[in-house]
Structure 1
């Protein structure tokens, strides 16, 4: 179900119009719709650019057949590249990432497209933060048209690849990935936030939400949160209890207390921007690593988040969903 992300799609369409020597890493809350956006962009790519080819690499794929998707049939190309056939588990995603260069070269040879878009979803889940940063560096080289021209002259890559516009997008939910990339100049980083209220209301109506205000207050525009709430027949109390259990909220709060940051956590529940202060930096890293909070970026695709105390959104930090914040608050009060 794809609803009300036209601004983000338009951003991707414009980005794919020409080559970029510096790829973009798009990060955002878990479940905010990054994967849906990526797949929809791949689906529409042929209508955007005649003869264009879009590749989607699923960093969480468990089977080779699921690791690579495209807007055109590239089965023969994948078979020719080899290596993916029969691979299972995380090796499928890892191999897809590291064979990507060969896949793109073969696609250029076979189809000679003028526009190539490569989207890697959850790259850092597939190969880890360290290797992921190296993969981003490779993406930088892949998008560098001057470098590709030189390689084509030397016969290192197919000539059609040197002539094509190649764009590379990486989607990530890992907060630690942004910190790693900030150490280098290999990529630009942009935020994709949860859905705006209007689009979220449309999604809620499609799912039959009985009380949109309550759903908005609990999910803050996060589509996955809304789907999970719908599966529980819109029972908010049961939903928060399940979050507390599945995300080990009790352990998280106890560990924060053991580290001496319980008071800062209590403040962060009310004002997440405390995590940007010196006394909150260590806690911020801990919560980011567990995908509880997210550092906001001034560069945003689509609608930018607005500070909202009720939703747990500050100017520099935000809880990924109000429900996560509420579950932490319940644990601090001894209710889980």
Structure 2
């Protein structure tokens, strides 16, 4: 499918990759909002942005070593030196190993390609290695991206000298609410929000997939592409789609856990107004809902637009449900 919209986000990525920065950005947002599609589109456009640039995408969900990396250049020669450590691993170990081999891969890129700019995007990092270890990886990325530190290491003969002069930018994409909480405790990473698609671009996507009723799709999905695709799989039957989410294990677990913690009344309030999660009485519930990727804490630091408050879509000023459908499914489950 043709990539639709996200021009503001792509402009942000282009500027970020061209600047001289050392602090990585962790981009967080709703599951299914299009983070992976945006990352791959940035890789596709990178040579147009920077004729001597290399973009490297690492898929934390990849199950085989040969599926871990994607790039705007051929990586066969670059990865040859680390193939024995990377390829042939089973399960999630391939992506886990690749995360820790990023520094060596970047060194090989510089040696073989002499790029002016390198953009490294790690997708689903925290799914691959966990929140605590993922935070260590981001710290490692900060050190790899620090041009001054690389210059000192080059002078000391610790790294190849050409590595010192390259602009290297690191981005981590995640849907894990817990990862944002962990990283906000540190100074060596920035976090920025990526929200669902805006209404005009979502309308174009709805038309592209043959959606019969845009108003209903917008009311149910609030601009979330994955929600739209799932609605299509349900035959565009909103009732059927909501019923499937309401009875899902994730929704039932959250409702049961809230009851166990004495948070049922707070959960009912959050269905009506997610901003109660920012109040002292709502903090425990906020952690619970974030841990299961039900809500997102909104931030003025965003790579696109920050959504406006919209009670119908479950969007407050400080918190938002990832999709209206998820909010509605929790409401149904609470009613039993």
How does the TM-score come out when normalised to structure 2?
0.98
Report the counterpart of residue 292 of structure 2 in structure 1. 290
**Judging changes above 3 Å, is the alpha-carbon distance between structure 1 residues 71 and 90 closer, same or farther for their aligned structure 2 residues?**
same
Q: How far apart are 1:248 and its partner, in Å?
A: 3.0
Which of residues 141, 146, 149 is equivalent to 2:148? 146
1:65 and 1:217 mapped to 2: Cα distance? 40
The question of whether the paired residues in 2 share the 8 Å contact of 1:175 and 1:294 is answered with yes
Does the residue aligned with 1:4 lie in a helix, a strand or coil? coil
1:208 correspondence with 2:234: no
What does residue range 4-153 of structure 1 map to in structure 2 within 5 Å? 4-82=5-83, 83-153=85-155
Does the residue aligned with 1:69 lie in a helix, a strand or coil? strand
Report the counterpart of residue 315 of structure 2 in structure 1. 313
Q: How far apart are 1:258 and its partner, in Å?
A: 1.6
1:330 and 1:244 mapped to 2: Cα distance? 6
The question of whether the paired residues in 2 share the 8 Å contact of 1:218 and 1:322 is answered with yes
Report the counterpart of residue 260 of structure 1 in structure 2. 262
Report the counterpart of residue 180 of structure 1 in structure 2. 182
Q: How far apart are 1:38 and its partner, in Å?
A: 0.3
1:60 and 1:294 mapped to 2: Cα distance? 22
Q: How far apart are 1:298 and its partner, in Å?
A: 1.1
The question of whether the paired residues in 1 share the 8 Å contact of 2:298 and 2:306 is answered with no
Which of residues 224, 232, 235 is equivalent to 1:233? 235
Which of residues 310, 328, 333 is equivalent to 1:326? 328
Report the counterpart of residue 221 of structure 1 in structure 2. 223
Please tell me the root mean square deviation across aligned C-alpha atoms, in Å. 0.9
1:85 and 1:79 mapped to 2: Cα distance? 10
How does the TM-score come out when normalised to structure 1?
0.98
Q: How far apart are 1:244 and its partner, in Å?
A: 2.2
2:39 and 2:218 mapped to 1: Cα distance? 24
1:248 and 1:118 mapped to 2: Cα distance? 32
Q: How far apart are 1:245 and its partner, in Å?
A: 3.2
Does the residue aligned with 1:301 lie in a helix, a strand or coil? coil
Name stretches of at least 5 consecutive residues in structure 1 with no aligned partner: none
The question of whether the paired residues in 2 share the 8 Å contact of 1:113 and 1:160 is answered with no
